Amino acid sequence: MMCKKWDAVIIGGGLSGLAAGAYLAKAGKRVAVLERAEKLGGRAGTVEKEGALFNLGPHALYLHGPGGGVLRELGVTVTGGKPSLRGGFVANGRFYQAKSLPAVLATHLLSWRGKAQVAATFAKVAMVKAETLMEMTFADWLAKNVRDERARQFFEMMARLSSYSHDPERVSAGAMLRQLQLSAKGIVYPDGGWQSITDRLADRAREFGAEILQGAHALRVEGAFPEMTVTLGDGRVLATKAVLSTVAPHVTAELVGHAVCKKEIVPVRAASLDVALRRLPRPDVHFALGVDEPFYFSVHSVAAKLTKTSDGHVLHVLRYFSASEVPDAKRDREGLETFLDRLQPGWRDEVVTSRYLPRVTVAGSLPLAGRPPVNTAVDSRPGLYLAGDWQTGEGLLADAALGSARESALALLEADPV
């Protein structure tokens, strides 16, 4: 039964859907945002366990990326802190302690030649025009610019840290270098976890006039601009002029009955161990990266408020996967726990609660070298628009989600002005 007609129906109540809903409602559009789950957020959600706030694995907001700009435009304030990089690096099973990333030059991790190349490459990264290197793979760029093997591993490690991807032979050098540049400008762990950003985005969308329907499962999208319908699982049919889908391309294809993206989409995945501890056995180690193995460790609660009490710590350990890798839940968990053993020996005696995610999707797609940006509008279906963190033209991760939401909302407004 159709009760009213919307200007736009948005499918998906994560970062993309809520940001797009806020932009469109702010411009005067009648907007409905549909979220299949009872809780908003998607991959930007947070759950509470035993007083600890767990994101869906480790997340960070790049303050000066497209996502930070979108949040500022929509009046969403993010509180939190910059991560503590006090810790070190693990290579060949040995822990090299350092008080910061630049302090790696004072350790024995690198040879003198390697240290000189790391210093020179950091300077080069700061100056390079990343947009000119989108066609080249990151592996090719490293082979051309970093000859020392351990120094090359170091920059592969840094690229993993800033992009969550572990495919240097496939990812765009420009995308990786852009992420490294953004990292240097500042990142933040949000207080209350990423759910705090999601909830503030939802509040802004509602303040602008958007209606958010939770537990609303979209089954089918039919028609074309300006006569479209969205059929829900409970039998309701929403009449709308346009539809903006923020779910994965293959899900959107099922909704509309045909492919919506001809470009290769390779999801980025990882294994994540989230742990709440009563105390840190080693309070001087907040952060560490695997140099020759794809591991990450960070105590997020040092920077952000992630516990319901003043005591305890929340930390994340991650294993990055390459796209061709076959995860092994048992092996990968043992690897994460062993990595944590090196950094916080005795941590098992301090556990309040934990959560293991053996195959979590970190982002919708790898930023593949040479892949052109995906159009926000679907040419074969006028009135159908796309957004999501799989659109890696403007940025990665939350930057891709929020930046593509803004781009799609503006494209819709251009096609159908208020």
Calculate the average pLDDT of the chain: 95
The Cα–Cα gap between 376 and 371 comes to 15
The CA-atom distances, in angstroms, between 93 and each of 288, 331, 339 are 13, 17, 9
List the chain domain ranges: 5-44+195-261+367-415, 47-65+266-363, 102-185
236-287 residue pLDDT tens: 999 999 999 999 999 999 999 998 987 788 999 999 999 999 999 999 999 9
Looking at residue 54, its pLDDT comes to: 97
- Crossing angle of helices 112-127 and 173-185, rounded to 10°: 90
36-92 residue pLDDT tens: 999 999 999 999 999 999 999 999 999 899 999 999 999 999 999 999 999 999 999
The Cα–Cα gap between 44 and 265 comes to 20
3-state secondary structure of 79: coil
Predicted TM-score of the model (pTM): 0.96
What does the pLDDT average to over 360-379?
88
The Cα–Cα gap between 230 and 213 comes to 13
- Residue 249 — left, alpha, or beta (φ > 0 → left; ψ -120 to 50 → alpha)? alpha
- Among 13, 117, 15, 11, smallest CA distance to 363 is for 15
Q: How confident is the model at residue 2 (pLDDT cuts 50, 70, 90)?
A: low
Q: How confident is the model at residue 317 (pLDDT cuts 50, 70, 90)?
A: very high
User: Are residues 118 and 110 in contact, defined by beta-carbon separation less than 8 angstroms?
Assistant: yes
Beta partners for 318? 272, 296
The Cα–Cα gap between 12 and 6 comes to 16
155-188 residue pLDDT tens: 999 999 999 999 999 999 999 999 999 999 999 9
CATH 2.40.110.10 fits 5-44+195-261+367-415, yes or no: no
Q: How confident is the model at residue 115 (pLDDT cuts 50, 70, 90)?
A: very high
